[in-house]
Amino acid sequence: MSIDVQEAIKAIRDMRPVINPDEDYLTIVAVEQTVTASEARRKKELEEAHAKFKALAKALEAARVSSTRPNTVPSAEAHATTLHEHDGTRFSLMKTIQDMEGEIGSKEVELAALKEEARKLEEYDPATEHEKEMDGDVLRLDIYKALGFEPVQDKNGYITKMLIRSQSGDVHVVDLPATNEPTFEDIQKLWNIARS
């Protein structure tokens, strides 16, 4: 079906009073402004939503990091193992300390004994002790015995006899005078017996 051009022109002329280009232009401009404002608002809302998304993503990552155990913090099993090792070390140190305290106590007793011994040694006079040990009478008796003379005492403590071992090995018994001081002749007699 073909439309006649004249009819089309007539139809356009009939519609001219209905069509107002100024009003349509203003409507188009208003629509464009509304669309532009709507796009600007949507872009701003999108940017705000994107910014909120980034902030929430950072918060999520921070929450994830804070909720996971860092590498520097040991696991629960490793922590329990470390505590067990530290307990063992602590008990070992306590035992060592007790042993050392016991040793210190024994050393203190030993030190006190050594101090007492040192005090006694400082008070000790070896010359006096030697003099006591080397009583003149005892020394003389030892010398006499070495020479072969051994005095024999009676029950009152007086020397009444002399045992003489001669150079030949014989043993002679000689009665001594009742006066505890023999004469020169008595002494010569004893020496002669000892030389025989």
Q: Is residue 66 part of a domain?
A: no
pLDDT, one tens digit per residue, over 48-84 is 999 999 999 999 998 888 777 777 777 778 888 888 9
In angstroms, what CA-CA distances link 76 with 63, 82, 99?
A: 20, 10, 34
141 plus 190 within the same structural domain: yes
Residue 33 lies in a domain: yes
Whether 13 and 50 map to the same domain: the answer is yes
Block residue for tokens 């000790």: 124
- Among residues 120, 129, 166, which one has the least CA distance to residue 147? 166
**Average per-residue pLDDT for the chain:** 84
Q: CB–CB of 120/161 below 8 Å?
A: no
Question: What is the number of residues in the chain?
Answer: 196
Are 164 and 139 members of one domain?
Answer: yes
Q: What is the pLDDT, as a whole number, of residue 34?
A: 93
Residue 191: count other Cβ atoms within 10 Å of its Cβ: 13
Beta bridge partners of 171: 165
Kindly report the backbone phi and psi dihedral angles of residue 112, in degrees, each rounded to the nearest multiple of 5, phi listed first.
-60, -40
Q: What is the CATH number of the domain that holds 182?
A: 3.30.160
Q: What pLDDT is recorded for position 133? A: 65
What pLDDT is recorded for position 134?
Answer: 64
Report pTM.
Answer: 0.32
- Of the three residues 93, 124, 155, the one that is the final residue of a domain is 124
What lies within 8 Å, CB to CB, of 81 at 6+ separation is none
Per the structure, the count of domains in the chain is 3
pLDDT in tens, 147-160: 888 888 888 878 78
Q: Find the domain containing 191 and state its range.
A: 135-195
pLDDT tens per residue, range 117-139: 888 888 877 777 666 666 667 77
Residue 62 lies in a domain: no
What percent of the chain has a predicted confidence (pLDDT) above 90?
A: 29
